[in-house]
Amino acid sequence: MHTYCTLSGVYAAAITPLKSDFSLDLEALPLFLDFLAKRGCHGALLLGTTGEGPSFAANERISFFRAGLEVRQAHPGFHLLAGTGTPSLPETIALTHAAFDMGFDGVVVLPPYYYRKASDDGLFTWFSHVISGAVPENGALLGYHIPAVSGVGLSLDLISHLKERFPTRFAGLKDSSGDPEHARQLGARFGKELLVFTGHDRLLTFALENGASGCITALANLFSPDLRCIWDAYQNGKLEPEAQNRMEARRVIMDGYPPIPAFIKAGVTHLAGFPRWPVRPPLLNLPTDVEQQAMDEIYHAHEFISHRPIFS
C-alpha cells in the first residue's frame, strides 16, 4: 500500500503561533499540535492559508516544520503535511525536499500564484519539476486548489495529466474552492484514485459522498470533534447531519469575520485558553469589539449549546 493511502481523515489547517514581534513561537507549536491530536485530528497542515504560509521566509518555514515534528514524541501516528508552495520553482523544490527529509508525510503545494494566466502546460511543467526534483517514491504531493485566493486554479485536465505522469507521487488535491459542483466533478472523474481533502467545513459530508478522503480545514483548530464524528460515521456507512449542520453554521459565522487566521487565533484563546497569538502583517488582528462579538456569536449560537463544555 502506498504511503498516501493511509493519509485519509480529519486535518487541521493549523494556525501559526507567533510572538508579539511577529516571529515564530516555536515552543508553542508542539503544545498546540498536541491539543489537536487529543481532540481527534488525524494530522495537521503546517503553513497553509490559515497558517499564513506565504508570509514566512524559507528559513522560517524549515524551522517551523522541524519544531512541529516534536508532536510525534507523544503522538507517533500524527500525520504532518507541509505547505511548501511558493511562486519560486527552486524555493518550492528546496522546501518540499526539506519537508520529506524531515519525515513529513506529504506536502500541499500552491501553484505559482503570481502568474495568474499561466497555461495548464506551464503549470504541468512547473509541478513536474517539483515532483521529479523533491518528492520521493513513497512521498505524497497534494496540489492546492484555492483559486479565490491564489488566482490560479488547477483544472481537472491538469490534475488528470499529473496523475497519469506521476501516479503515486501526485497523490491528489486539497480542494478549497468551496464549490459543491467541483467536489462532484472530482468524484465523478477520479473516484477513489485521487486523494481529495475538502478545505471547506460545510462540504465535508458532501465531499465524502463524492469520493473525498477527508478534510483540511480552519475550523478543525476549534471544532475537530464534530468533524471527526462526521468522518468516523461515514466510515461506518452512516451520516451525522446534526454535526454537519453545526459545522455549516460555524463556517457562516467565521466567514463573516475575516481574515480567517485572526478569527481562529481569537477562537483558540477565548475558547481553549491558548495565548493570544497575533497574525503577521499585512493581516491584522480583529478589532477588540469585533473580536468579542465574533466570539460571543460562535459560543452562544443555539447550535452549539450543550450540557458539556466545547473544550474538554
Nearest to 219 by CA among 252, 241, 186: 252
> With helix as H, strand as E and coil as C, how does 179-245 read?
CHHHHHHHHHHHHHHCEEEECCHHHHHHHHHCCCCEEEECCHHHHHHHHHHHHHHHHCCCCCHHHHH
Catalytic pick from 4, 11, 16, 49?
49
Q: Is 64 exposed, middle or buried (0-12, 13-18, 19+ CB in 10 A)?
A: buried
Catalytic residue among 11, 113, 144, 234: 144
Q: Is 299 a catalytic residue?
A: no
The H-or-E segment that residue 132 falls in is helix 120-134
Query: Do 214 and 197 form a contact (C-beta atoms < 8 A)?
Result: yes
Determine whether 144 is an active site residue: yes
DSSP E strands in 70-120: the ranges are 79-83, 106-109
Helix (H) or strand (E) holding 174: strand 170-175
Known active-site residue 114: yes
- What are the residues whose beta carbons fall under 8 Å from the beta carbon of 163, sequence distance 6 or more? 170, 190, 193, 194
49 a catalytic residue? yes
Cα gap 246→223, rounded to integer Å: 10
**Cα–Cα distance for residue pair 74/19, rounded to 1 Å:** 25
Is residue 267 within 8 Å of 284, Cβ to Cβ?
A: no
Biggest distance spanned by C-alpha atoms of the chain: 55
What CA–CA distance (Å, rounded) separates 45 from 73?
Answer: 18
Nine-digit cell at 142?
497534494
Q: Which of 174, 198, 205, 265 is catalytic?
A: 174
Residue in 129, 144, 204, 151 with CA at minimum distance from that of residue 175: 144
- The residues annotated with a catalytic role in the active site are 49, 114, 144, 174
